Structure 1
Amino acid sequence: MTTFNFEEAKRTKITALFVSLLYILIISSLIGLKTENWIIVLAFNACIWLSQSSRKFILAFSIFIFFAIIYDLMKVYPNYRVNPVDIGGIYNFEKSLFGFNYHGAIVTPNEFFALHHTTFFDLLGGFFYLNWIPLPVAFAFWLYFKNKKQFLHFSLTFLFVNLIGFCIYYLHPAAPPWYVAKYGFDFIQHTPGDTAGLGRFDKLLHANIFGSLYSRNSNVFAAMPSLHCAYPLIAFFYAFKSNVKSMKWYFGIVMVGIWITAIYSGHHYVVDAIMGISCAGAGILIFQFVLLRIRAVKTFLSAYEQLIT
C-alpha cells in the first residue's frame, strides 16, 4: 500500500507547471501553438493537480506524450533538409524485388492494387488501419491497470522503436508509393499529406476520418520504415508475453491486416513494411536482451514503477 507524500506531490506539481511553460514556449517559437498543444498541456496539468491516482496515471502515460511531442517537433527541421529524398531509387528497388508482369508491363503491388480494389477490402483495410495507434494505446491502458511492470516495458519499447524509426527517417528520407503515382519522381518540398487509397474508405462512409489524420502529417517523406507496421507487432509481442489470451489473436489478425493494408492503400511499399517489421523486431530484442540487463536501466524502471504504483 502506498502512502501520500505531500512534499513529493508539491514538487511534482511545480515541476509539471515548469515543464508545461517550457513546452508552450518551445512549441510557440518553433512551429506555433495549435489546439492539440493546449489540450495536451491542460490535460496533463489537470491530471497532475486533480488527485494522486490521476497524477500517477499521467506520469505513466507521459511516455506517449513524449512520443507525440517528438513527432510534432519533426516539423521544425524536416528530414528532407538533412538528406536527399529517395523517390525513384526505392520505387525501382521495390519493382526489382516484388514487381511482376501485368499486361506486358512490370508493376509494383501498389500499382496493381490501385487498379484492382473492391468496396469490401476498402472498408476492411480502413478498419484495420484505424487501429494503428488506438490498438497500442488501448493495450497500454489495459496493462497500466493490470501489470505496471509490463506496461513500462511495452510503453518504453514503443518509444524506443519510434526513436529508431525517426533516426532512419533522417538518415534515409523516402517517398511513399502514392507520391510517385501523384507527382512522379521530382522532389516537391512541402508536399501535403495524402489519404491515397484510404480516401476510398472516407468516401464510402461519407466522412473525413483519414483526411483529417493525414492533414496533420509531420512529413510525407518518412515512408521507410513503416511504423504503421511496427506498432501492432510490439502490441502482439507483449500480448503474448503478458499471456493475454483474449487479446493476442485479435492483435495478430489486426497486425497482418495493417501490414496488407499499408501496401493495398498505396501508403507503403513492401520494402517499407519489411523494414518497419524489422525495426520493431530489433527494438524488442535490444530492449529485452540488452537494455533490461543494464543496471542503470533496471534502477530507473524500478523507480518509475514505484512512482506510478
Structure 2
Amino acid sequence: MAQTAAAVKTLNATSVLTVSLASIAYLLLSWLLVGFKTDQLFLVFLFNAFFYASGITRKFITGFAIFVIYWIIYDYMKAFPNYDYNPVHIAGLYNAEKSIFGINFNSSLLTPNEYWRLNSLTFLDVMSGIFYLCWIPVPMGFAVYLFFYNRRQFLSFLLTFFLVNLLGFVVYYTYPAAPPWYVQHHGFDFIKHTPGNTGELFKFDRFFGVNIFQTIYAKGSNVFAAMPSLHSSYPVIVLYYGIKNRLGLVNLFFGLVMIGIWFSAVYTSHHYVLDVLFGITTAIVGIITFNLLFTKVAFLRNFLNKYELLIK
C-alpha cells in the first residue's frame, strides 16, 4: 500500500486527469458503439491498476498502450462491418484456392481445407489447437521480455505489430472475404449476420471437454475478415525480432510456432492457403514499412525517441 501511494504521489495532476478521462471516454464510446461488455471494465481496471501500482508497471502499460489501442480498434470493427462497404468474396476466393492449390482425392478436386477435413487426425486436431492458442501468449510474452531487455526493441516490436494490423484491416474493408468453414456450412450465399464459428477447432474442445475456442470465436469482430490471415502474420513479426535480437535456440521455437500456425490455419478451415500467403506478405510489408518510416521520416523517428525516453 505504501509503495502504491508513493507511486501515485509521483504522478502529476495532468497524468491522473488524462488517464481518468480516457477511461471514462472509452467506456462511454464502447457502450454507444458495441454495447456494454465486462471485457471493457476489465481492460480499464487492468490499465489503471498497472498505471498506478508502481513506476515500472506504469512504464510497462504506457508502452503496452500500443497494443491496447489495437485491441480497441479491433473491437470497434463490430460497429462498422466490412460487408457494409464492399461485397463479400466467397465463391471467387474458393475457386481460386481450388484452381491453384487443389488436391485430387477420390476422383474429386478439393481445397486443402476440404482434404484435411476428410483426413483429419486426432494428433493434428490437438496440435492445431495448441498452435492456434499461441497467437496471443507468444507475441505478448516476447513483448514482456523485450520490455526488460531492450525498451527500443519493445516499442519497435509493438509498433510493427500495430502497423501490420492496420494494413490487414485496410484489406478487410477493401476485400471482405469468407473463411473456408463458411462455405462448408453456408455455401456461396452471403448471410449478413453470420455468427463466428470454431471451424475444425471444435475437435480440440471436444477432445479436452472444454469450450475454449467456442468462447473465443463467439466474440469475433467479423467473420468476413479471412483475407489476409493476421494469425499467420504475427509469428513472422515475432521471428523477425527474435532473429534481430539474436535469441539463438529460442528462434527455433518461434519458427516452429510460425509453421504450426500456418498449417493449423488451413487444417482447421479458418483460412485458405491464399489467406496465409497474403498474411505472410502483409507481415513482410509491415516490417519493411516500419523500418523505412521510423528511420527515414524525421518526426516519426523523433516520436519513437521520445516514446522510448517516456518508458525508460
TM-score normalised over the length of structure 2? 0.95
Corresponding position of 1:215: 218
TM-superposed CA distance for 1:10, in Å, is 2.9
TM-superposed CA distance for 1:54, in Å, is 1.7
Work out which of the residue numbers 188, 194, 199 in structure 2 matches 1:196. Answer: 199
Q: Deviations over 1:45-68 (max 9, x none)?
A: 122222222211111111111011
Q: Deviations over 1:75-98 (max 9, x none)?
A: 001000010000001000101111
Q: Deviations over 1:93-138 (max 9, x none)?
A: 1011111222221111000001001111111111111101111111
**CA–CA separation in structure 2 for the residues paired with 1:169 and 1:7:** 43
Work out which of the residue numbers 81, 87, 91 in structure 1 matches 2:90. Answer: 87
Corresponding position of 1:119: 122
Corresponding position of 1:176: 179
Corresponding position of 1:96: 99
TM-superposed CA distance for 1:33, in Å, is 1.6
Corresponding position of 2:3: none
| Secondary structure, aligned partner of 1:123 | helix
Number of corresponding residues: 306
Q: How does 1:289-308 map to 2 (within 5 A)?
A: 289-308=292-311
Work out which of the residue numbers 35, 57, 73 in structure 2 matches 1:32. Answer: 35
TM-superposed CA distance for 1:29, in Å, is 1.0
Say if 1:194 and 1:215, in contact at 8 Å, map to a contact too. yes
**CA–CA separation in structure 1 for the residues paired with 2:253 and 2:154:** 19
| Secondary structure, aligned partner of 1:213 | helix
Question: Is 1:163–2:166 an aligned residue pair?
Answer: yes
Q: How does 1:8-27 map to 2 (within 5 A)?
A: 9-27=12-30
Corresponding position of 1:286: 289
Q: Which amino acid in the other structure matches residue 56 of structure 1?
A: K
Moved more, 139-148 or 95-104: 95-104
Corresponding position of 1:257: 260
**CA–CA separation in structure 2 for the residues paired with 1:271 and 1:181:** 17
Moved more, 43-52 or 109-118: 43-52
Question: Is 1:54–2:57 an aligned residue pair?
Answer: yes
Percent identical pairs in the alignment equals 47
TM-superposed CA distance for 1:5, in Å, is 11
**CA–CA separation in structure 1 for the residues paired with 2:295 and 2:204:** 42
Q: Deviations over 1:132-187 (max 9, x none)?
A: 11111110011001100000000000000000000100000000000000000000
Moved more, 29-38 or 222-231: 29-38
Q: Deviations over 1:190-246 (max 9, x none)?
A: 111111111101100111111111110000000000000000000000000011114
**CA–CA separation in structure 1 for the residues paired with 2:202 and 2:299:** 47
**CA–CA separation in structure 2 for the residues paired with 1:5 and 1:49:** 6
Work out which of the residue numbers 60, 70, 75 in structure 2 matches 1:72. Answer: 75
**CA–CA separation in structure 1 for the residues paired with 2:103 and 2:121:** 21
Say if 1:143 and 1:151, in contact at 8 Å, map to a contact too. yes
Q: Which amino acid in the other structure matches residue 249 of structure 1?
A: L
**CA–CA separation in structure 1 for the residues paired with 2:296 and 2:169:** 25
Question: Is 1:232–2:213 an aligned residue pair?
Answer: no
Q: Deviations over 1:270-295 (max 9, x none)?
A: 00000000000000011113333211
CA RMSD of aligned residues (A): 1.3
Corresponding position of 1:187: 190
Say if 1:13 and 1:48, in contact at 8 Å, map to a contact too. no
TM-superposed CA distance for 1:25, in Å, is 1.1
Say if 2:8 and 2:52, in contact at 8 Å, map to a contact too. no
**CA–CA separation in structure 1 for the residues paired with 2:295 and 2:280:** 21
